[in-house]
Amino acid sequence: MTTKIAVIGFGNIAKAIITPLFDKKLINPKDVYCLVNTKKSLENIRKNYNYDVNIFQANSKDAKIILDCQIKLLAVKPQQLKNIIELEENNNNKNLLVSILAGVSLEKLIKRFPNHKCVRVVTNIPITIGKGLTGISWGEEITKDQKQFIKRLFETSSKIYEFPEDLLDIFLALTSSGPALIALIIEALSDGGLSGGLQKRLSEELVMDMILGTVSLIKDTNITTAELKNMVTSPGGTTISALRVLEDKSLRSALIEAVVSASNRSKEFR
């Protein structure tokens, strides 16, 4: 039997999950049924998306075709959860609901969609270029074959981790909120270069290349971050001078608290 997939909310992240599967011919676009909220979104996808998927406006009578789909990928904004049409089952077997809604717990999903077997997924924005990090927490009654199928949905565009649900909030804080923290650090460092006389774009390029090189050095040589810091810090030198400023401004503490705050905020959505 062909597995039909419903995508409820066809935004950038949903496209990043589904499109590589089309590219690699792992699923057929004709087996994917997408719902969008507005007529403008529907027309834009029909005009600009590279694949001919089945797409419907959520408030149309045709939208109920998703009830027959064995897999439903829930990819709307968390605050839109209450507006999702009732997803009653048309058979005796519970279909799968895979949610990528930030902070929405399995308990809430099961309560909202009692006739589905639910899976909670956290992924991040680099998935849009095939370099994502995806954490999965399984609900009850998920079979081995179903787990393998769900992992195949994400493994073409991200690295997959399986977690008990209580670790998904901190995973989200590090990996989903983290890109914004890194972007802020890049921006601040490049502004430092700007202050020293470099052109803004050149300063940004230098910072990004420096970060990529530093990460590669740590991963390729398996040294610790502390060892790397010691390698480039000499007595009375420029690096220790910079590090003193960061310690004085409590940068380390601020970053730790930022991650904790994001994790706590995720828990509030439950």
pLDDT tens, position by position, 3-34: 899 999 999 999 999 999 999 999 999 999 99
Q: What's the pLDDT at 92?
A: 52
DSSP 115-180: TEEEEEEE--GGGGGT-EEEEEEE-TT--HHHHHHHHHHHHTTEEEEE--GGGHHHHHHHHTSHHH
Say which CATH topology domain 178-268 has: ProC C-terminal domain-like fold (1.10.3730)
At 202 the pLDDT is 98
Q: How far apart are CA 259 and CA 182, in angstroms?
A: 12
Percentage of the residues of the chain whose pLDDT score is greater than 90: 79
More confident residue, 270 or 268: 268
Query: What distance in Å separates the CA atoms of residue 72 and residue 34, rounded to the nearest whole number?
Result: 10
Name the helix (H) or strand (E) containing 36: strand 32-36
Residue 146 has pLDDT above 60, yes or no: yes
5-167 placed in CATH 3.40.50.720: yes
DSSP 167-217: GHHHHHHHHTSHHHHHHHHHHHHHHHHHHTT--HHHHHHHHHHHHHHHHHH
Look up residue 167 and give its amino acid.
L
Judge residue 64's burial from the number of C-beta atoms within 10 Å of its C-beta, 0-12 exposed, 13-18 middle, 19 or more buried: middle
**Which residues does 11 contact at the CB level (< 8 Å), separation at least 6?**
75
Average per-residue pLDDT for the chain: 92
What is the structure's pLDDT at 211?
97
pLDDT greater than 90 at residue 169: yes
Token pair of 64, please? 């109920």
| Mean pLDDT across 181-206 | 97
DSSP-assigned states of every residue in 66-103: GGG-SEEEE-S-GGGGGGSPP---SSSSPEEEEE--TT
Q: How much is the average pLDDT of 177-182?
A: 97
Considering only residues 216 and 113, tell me which one the structure prediction assigns the higher pLDDT.
216
The reported pLDDT for the residue numbered 89 is 53
Q: What is the pLDDT of residue 90?
A: 52
**Residue 87 pLDDT:** 62
Q: Is the pLDDT of residue 251 over 70?
A: yes
Compute the residue count for the chain: 270
Q: What is the pLDDT of residue 65?
A: 85
pLDDT value at residue 201: 97
Domain ranges of the chain: 5-167, 178-268
Q: What is the DSSP letter of 56?
A: E
The Cα–Cα gap between 199 and 24 comes to 41
- Residue 140: phi and psi, rounded to 5, are -80, 155
- Range 59-71 average pLDDT: 85
Q: Is the pLDDT of residue 91 over 70?
A: no
> Residue 105 has which token pair?
């717990």
Q: Looking at the predicted structure, is the pLDDT value of residue 86 above 70?
A: no
Calpha distance 49→34 (Å, rounded): 12
